[in-house]
Structure 1
């Protein structure tokens, strides 16, 4: 498994734009498929997606493959990921 984050320095482009900027956390497998995804917004709102919750009114689990290089992310440990999860 791979664990990494990506900071997004723009607000959402919808009715939740006032949530602010966000930090995204990803767990991917060796095929670069996103298994779990967390988004933590500047206002404290947190969204979480996995096979158990693929989508809701705020968004959904990334359907594409993703690597740390593609999102210019930062590597984190499994433990750090699950502290947020």
Structure 2
């Protein structure tokens, strides 16, 4: 598994644009498929997606492959990812 994060310095382009910038956290497998995804917005809103919860009215789990190089991300540990996954409601 791979774990990484990316800061997104652009707001959403929908009715939720006032949520602000966001930080994205990803868990991917060795085939670069996104297994879990967390988005933490500047206003505190948190979106979490996985196979168990692939989409809601605000977004969805990425359906494409993704590597840390694709998004100029920063590697994090599995423990750091899981801490965020569990702590963010």
Alignment TM-score > 0.5, same fold:
yes
Counterpart-to-counterpart distance in 1, 2:81 and 2:20: 21
Q: Which runs of no fewer than 5 residues in structure 2 stay unpaired?
A: none
TM-score, scaled relative to structure 2? 0.95
Equivalent residues in 2 for 1:22-41, closer than 5 Å: 22-41=22-41
Looking at structure 1, the residues matched to 13 and 54 of structure 2 have their Cα atoms a distance apart, in angstroms, of 21
TM-score (norm 1): 0.99
Q: Name structure 1 gaps, 5 residues minimum.
A: none
Number of corresponding residues? 85
Secondary structure of 1:80 counterpart: helix
Which 4+ residue blocks in structure 1 deviate beyond 2 angstroms?
A: none
Identify the structure with the greater strand proportion.
Answer: 1
Q: Aligned-residue CA RMSD in angstroms? A: 0.3
